[in-house]
Structure 1
Amino acid sequence: EPAMAAAPATTAVVVPRMKLGSQGLEVSALGLGCMGMSAYYGPPKPEPDMVALIHHAVAAGVTLLDTSDIYGPHTNELLLGKALQGGVRGKVQLATKFGILAGADGARADLPRFQAENLEKNTMVFERVSTMAARKGCTASQLALAWVHHQGNDVCPIPGTTKVDNFNQNVAALSVKLAPEEMAELESYASADVAGDRYHDFLNTWQDSETPPMSSWKAE
């Protein structure tokens, strides 16, 4: 079976910026999820490599970095603290999460949708996406990111990675264009019966909070 083609993996073009929310926040059109650098997907990755990856992402124009105090725990935020020294902090926005006390398990194999009985059923959906990706000259991951980018000009995906090459592939997804009929085709795949919940039930009990308006913040 021929290898799936990928969109050009280049960061020569700086990641464009976009408005996020209604309070004037401007971020890159593609963020960087940092969880896997410190937790869940195997052992923590070498710190110098991850610092270099973060610097590479910032140099490419990424300004939105996602972390949490539970990643590690705490070591991911510490990693970012080291990576953002020397003036880098002023170039990015940090998104974090806190207050998660127990039960968080990032192991993909433990999620309902990835259990053996569900994985086999969902393979058909993945094969359809892969076929369309090959037709578009990109990977399935790039097609998924392109679908997110086409949801609106105020939607910023935050894919995670621990490799510069994979990051470059994610940036290249910005060049994948989807016509309305192709979006409809992808939506038809999503309407199929996907077996298994995406997350565990306890995650539905978590509460999200809205950031207070900047006008309400007072310096001390």
Structure 2
Amino acid sequence: MAQSVEIPRVKLGTQGLGVSKLGYGCMGLTGAYNDPLREEEGISVIKHAFDQGITFFDTADIYGVDHANEILVGKALKQLPREKIQIATKFGITKIDSSEMFVNGTPEYVRSCCEGSLKRLGVEYIDLYYQHRVDLSVPIEDTVGELKKLVEEGKVRYIGLSEASPDTIRRAHAVHPITAVQMEWSLWTRDIEEEIVPLCRELGIGIVPYSPLGRGFFGGKGVLETVSTVSSLMTHPRFQTENLDKNKRLYEKIERLAAKHHCTPSQLALAWILHQGNDVAPIPGTTKIKNLDQNIGGVSLKLAESELREISEAVPIDGVAGNRHYYGSSSFAWTIANTPPKDPRV
């Protein structure tokens, strides 16, 4: 698919935040699914994304060793026009050691995290500041109350939540308008469609899907054939041998549909999520410029309602083998002590 695709802008929420319809998830640049890139390589990927029309960049204070991701993004920002970029970062997960993490939503922690992110990013304000995971031991009203103060002080422009339940979203929104909710959403992870999506639209909240390519599942056969060499994905339930064998059949269906649309499976999967509404801005991540360009190519793919239905039916919600959540002990698994496995979206 030809490049030089114009990436449209969309509004997240009703408070005024405009972003590129396709964002970029920076997490992988400092090591997640693969080894981290060299600093100059990571900066080059971010700059290329901006040159191609992406202005919405997503990071978090927990990504990378010793906040490496925010530091990298900050260095890239120094080479780009700040006023044209929307930076999203997150707080709320604190690492005890390489195998154990906890969530913390106390007002004091919120403020200290914000100050740290501002310094590492080298900016005067954060465009969109998410609570990464909800702290069950702290009323959401207290956490958002502190975020509201940060907005009033000009340190944060807009507030977001990540992996929050409908009740939490509603309670948070009553304290201060929530601009965006970041949730996993892709062809093979669609549980937010029943409650979260309708609620966000009722309240005027934008939706930022992370892992819109199913943690790389829809990225191509190469991903499926090399999972055994990618340590973090080896622990994911959907990439376990028996589940992966079943899920490969779903990939083959998308592969056939992609050929019908003269695009790649990843472009079709991205186009599907991009068509879910004008309040949706997915943030696929990649460490390779060729894959980034391929993702951008999916923006120009137009799908009719009947075609969207056909794609949805190719990957039935109940047809995916394996849970979407990690419950391992590795640092990437994000084992969070006070988040109960029965409902990780509390």
1:87–1:177: structure 2 CA closer, same or farther, 3 Å change rule? closer
Q: Supply the distance in 2 between the matched residues of 1:67 and 1:14 (Cα, whole angstroms).
A: 24
Instruction: Give secondary structure in 1 for the equivalent of 2:94.
Output: coil
Equivalent pairs: percent with the same residue?
48
- 1:62 is matched by which residue type in structure 2? I
Q: CA deviation at 1:33?
A: 0.7
Given candidates 20, 23, 42, the residue that maps to 2:15 is 23
Partner residue, 1:53: 45
1:119-134 matched pairs, under 5 angstroms: 119-134=244-259
Matched residue, 1:66: 58
Q: How does 1:4-15 map to 2 (within 5 A)?
A: 7-8=1-2, 10=3, 12-15=4-7
Q: 1:100 aligns with which of 58, 79, 93?
A: 93
Distance 2:259 2:288 in 1: 23
Letter of the structure 1 residue corresponding to residue 94 of structure 2? L
In 2, distance between residues paired with 1:21 and 1:108? 33
Question: Could you say which residue in structure 1 is the equivalent of 2:73?
Answer: 80
| RMSD across aligned positions (CA) | 2.0
Instruction: Look up the match of 2:277.
Output: 152
- Provide runs of 4+ in structure 1 moved above 6 Å: none
Equivalent position of 2:173 in the other structure = none
Alpha carbons 2:47, 2:80 under 8 Å: kept:
no
Task: Report the more deviating stretch, 63-72 or 88-97.
Answer: 88-97
Distance 2:86 2:29 in 1: 18
Between the aligned partners of 1:155 and 1:114, the Cα distance in structure 2 is 27
**Post-superposition shift, 1:86?**
4.2
The residue identity in structure 2 corresponding to 1:43 is D
Structure 1, unpaired ranges of 5+: 1-6, 209-220
- Deviation at 1:84? 0.2
Select 1:193's aligned residue among 319, 324, 327. Answer: 319
Q: How far off its partner does 1:128 sit? A: 0.3
TM superposition shift of 1:185:
0.9
User: What is the match of residue 110 of structure 1?
Assistant: 235
Residues 74-129 of structure 1, C-alpha deviations (whole Å, 9 max, x = no match): 1010000100014532221111222223557x912211111111111111111101
* Partner of residue 181 from structure 1, selected from 306, 312, 319: 306
Higher mean displacement: 81-90 or 174-183: 81-90
Higher relative CO (Cα under 8 Å, sequence separation at least 6) belongs to: 1
Distance 1:183 1:173 in 2: 14
Cα pair 2:5 2:299 within 8 Å, conserved:
no
Calculate the TM-score normalised by the size of structure 2: 0.54
The answer for unaligned runs of 5 or more in structure 2 is 102-230, 328-334
